[in-house]
Amino acid sequence: MKCSSLVLSGLLLTLSACSSTPTGSVTTNDTALTLSGRVVNWPGGPATLELRTSTAVLARGTVSETGDVNLVLPDASTMSSTLMQVDPSTFGNCTSTLVYSDLQARWRNFKGVGVYRNGTSLGSVGRGYGLTRFDQAKPGDYLVRWMYVDRPLNVVGTYSCAGHKETVDLRFKPGWNAYLQEYTTNYSASGGYYEIRTHSGSDATARWGFQSAQGAGQ
């Protein structure tokens, strides 16, 4: 785990908490794990989804003209070579009380999925609740992240830096896991201290949202 912890502060998605559009889900069967649903602020037109590392495309899916998402996540044989061993020692200037149940576990975290059209990046899609502004969050808003782990893993404790504090309670099973990064205080990209609770739990109230490559939600 790097000094940015699981927060990976990054980009907030512009999501509508009051839309009646279906929220989407993660579905499983014996052979595949699929992300599906409708993007509430999709600007229109079909596009390609790509789940990437810095060096490889791990999976491709589609977004329809009306924003319907379909992506089959990669299986264990694809993920194995991309995983990184848990490393609790790399915290930079932050302090941590995090306890890992298995230091031999390997994992990889994903914030969202890249969107492309004719080879050009349009931005990304992801899931969350609230976050009705691109650069702000309020208590109760949350982002959905996806983690792949190669064995059961629990991570519990706190992680504190100058600008934020994160309370962690994660219970991962082998394979793909959705987890939540929930704001417990107000957040603004312009600065100021904030707190997050990162935990396993239901993302039933989350919705799919699109963020443009220019970083200005649609």
pLDDT at 15 over 90: no
The more confident residue out of 135 and 65 is: 65
> Cα-flanking dihedrals φ and ψ of residue 99, to 5°?
-120, 130
Is 90 within a domain? yes
In three-state secondary structure terms, 115 is: strand
Query: CB count, 10 Å around CB of 96?
Result: 19
Q: What contacts 116, CB < 8 A, 6 or more positions away?
A: 47, 48, 49, 50, 122
Nearest to 122 by CA among 41, 59, 22: 41
pLDDT (tens digit, 9 = 90+) per residue, 130-158?
986 667 899 999 999 999 999 999 999 99
Scan for tokens 């219970």, then name that residue.
Answer: 171
Backbone angles phi, psi at 155, to 5 degrees: -130, 120
Beta-bridge mates of residue 61: 49
Q: Is the pLDDT of residue 31 over 60?
A: no
Tell whether the torsion through CA atoms of 45, 26, 144 and 97 is positive or negative.
Answer: negative
Does a structural domain hold residue 17?
A: no
81 DSSP 8-state letter = G
Domain range holding 197? 25-211
User: Quick check: is 148 in a domain?
Assistant: yes
- Cα(94)–Cα(168) distance, rounded to whole angstroms? 15
Query: Given pLDDT bands bounded at 50, 70 and 90, which one contains residue 215?
Result: low
Q: Is residue 48 assigned to a domain? A: yes
- Mean pLDDT rounded to a whole number for the chain: 84
Q: How far apart are CA 185 and CA 197, in angstroms?
A: 10
Residue 8 lies in a domain: no
- Please, are residues 26 and 202 in contact by the beta-carbon 8 Å criterion? no
Does residue 85 lie in a domain region?
Answer: yes
pTM for the full predicted model: 0.83
pLDDT at 72 over 90: yes
* Number of domains into which the chain is organized: 1
